Each structure stands twice: as C-alpha cells, then as structure tokens.
C-alpha cells in the first residue's frame, strides 16, 4: 500500500492519496481546500488511477473539494451519518473557517456501513463507525497492511473536538474505547489533522487524557 499525505486549508486538514501499488488504483481521502493541484500531481507521480473520493466524515474542511472530483466523474463515497453535510457543506463555525463562500455539495454515490468493505484495487479496509466528533465519523482499517485512516477520531497527540453541532462527548469516549480495544496497538494511523504514521499505541497515551 502507498499512502501520500499533504496538509491544506484554513485549519490544516490532511488530504491523502491511498493506492494499492504504483500504477494501480487509488482513493482520494478528505479533499481539503487547495488540495487539488497536489492530488493531481501525486496521482500522476504514482501513475495511479483514482477510482473514488472517500470522506472520513462530513465536516466542511474534509469535503470542500468533493465537487472538484465529482466534476471529473469520480464517485463520492462516505460512511453513514453525515450525508446532509456532504450534500450541503456547512462551515458552521465561521470564525474557524474564515467565512468561506458557499461550497457546492455532492450526492454520495455510496453510503457505506459496517457491513461493507472499503475496497481499492487489491486493498480492503474494514470500516468502523466512530461517532462523537460528528455523527458520521468513520475509521478505515487495513488489517493486511497494519494501517488505518482515522479521520478526526484520534490524532497523534489528541482527539477530535466534541463542541461542534452534532458532536457527542459520550459517543466519542465509546468510539475511542472501541477503537483501542479492536485495533492492534502497532497500527499506524493517518488522522485528519497533525502528524501521520505514528502508532495507535503512541496516540492512545495522549487520547486517554481526554477520556
């Protein structure tokens, strides 16, 4: 598996290109504001073909360039729970996002549940519904590679905020508890903000302070 990351937009959101192999298939994950040129360059450099956009959740900073890729004909995939924010991206905290202009929404082509696998070429990710930061936060775990896309559930040294509309602090604790119990500590995580490629066990030491 190849994972390349870049950081973009007003709140330093991580966008990833995940591919099964050089010359293979790829997912664009959480296309942040201003990420399009980097994504296109990364796809070309890896000689991979994007098959879809995957949104870890529906917050504005993670879906703001969905429409760019939808206009290229790529389907938008998401987990259940934040569909309305994907259809109508909502910067519900203007002070945080700098009063951005209205953002075109997209209709998800697939809304996945825990009964589904997120697949890309030879890669298969198990999906975990991890609400708390938002109702539709999801983790995508690739057991074969020992890596997980964790969105805004957990960061290298913290956890996602729970003071936004739709947030639920109690659900966040449950989601963190479940993730730490079900995924191996050596799993490398790729969060929505901050450093990536640290182990879940390292991140858990900091996350426990918020639980």
pTM for the model stands at 0.96
Name the nearest CA neighbour of 161 among 132, 190, 124: 132
Q: Measured in whole angstroms, how far is the alpha carbon of residue 132 from the centre of its chain?
A: 14
More confident residue, 44 or 102: 44
pLDDT digits (tens, 9 = 90+) for 132-157: 999 999 999 999 999 999 999 999 99
Q: Please, which pLDDT band fits residue 102 given cuts at 50, 70 and 90?
A: confident
Structure tokens at 52: 């879809």
Alpha-carbon torsion angle 166, 135, 200, 36, nearest 10:
-90
Residue 10 lies in domain: 2-210
**Structure token digits, residue 44:** 């070309």
* Residue 170: both structure tokens together: 């109690």
Integer Cα distance of 5 and 18 in angstroms = 9
Classify residue 87 as exposed, middle or buried by CB count within 10 Å of its CB (0-12, 13-18, 19+). Answer: middle
Determine contact, residues 110/77, Cβ cutoff 8 Å: yes
Q: Map tokens 């995924």 to a residue.
A: 183
pLDDT at 96: 75
Six-digit token string for 78: 């998401």
Q: How many CB atoms within 10 Å of residue 201?
A: 14
Count: domains in the chain: 1
Quick check: 98 pLDDT over 90?
A: no
Q: What is the DSSP string of 69-123?
A: HHTTTPPEEEETT-HHHHHS-----HHHHTSPPP------SEEE-TTSEEEETTE
- Burial bucket for residue 199 (CB in 10 Å: 0-12, 13-18, 19+): middle
Q: Give the pair of three-digit tokens for residue 140.
A: 């995508």
Find the angle CA(23)-CA(27)-CA(197) to the nearest 5 degrees.
Answer: 95
Mean pLDDT of all residues belonging to the chain: 96
CATH number at 175 reads 3.60.15.10
């Amino acid at each position: 598996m190849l994972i390349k990351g870049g950081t973009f937009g007003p709140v330093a959101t991580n966008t990833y290109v995940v591919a099964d192999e050089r010359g293979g298939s790829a997912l664009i994950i959480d296309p942040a504001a201003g990420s399009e040129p980097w994504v296109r360059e990364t796809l070309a450099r890896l000689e991979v073909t994007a098959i879809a956009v995957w949104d870890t959740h529906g917050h504005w900073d993670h879906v703001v360039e969905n429409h760019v890729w939808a206009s290229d004909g790529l389907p938008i995939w998401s987990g259940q729970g934040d569909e309305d924010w994907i259809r109508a991206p909502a910067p519900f905290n203007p002070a945080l996002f700098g009063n951005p202009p209205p953002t075109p929404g997209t209709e998800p082509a697939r809304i996945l549940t825990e009964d589904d696998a997120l697949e890309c070429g030879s890669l298969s990710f198990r999906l975990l519904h991890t609400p708390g930061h938002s109702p539709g936060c999801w983790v995508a775990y690739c057991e074969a590679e020992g890596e997980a896309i964790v969105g805004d559930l957990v960061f290298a040294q913290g956890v996602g905020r729970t003071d936004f509309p739709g947030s639920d602090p109690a659900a966040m604790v449950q989601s963190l508890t479940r993730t730490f119990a079900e995924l191996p500590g050596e799993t490398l995580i790729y969060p929505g903000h901050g450093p990536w490629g640290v182990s879940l066990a390292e991140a858990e030491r900091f996350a426990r302070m918020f639980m």
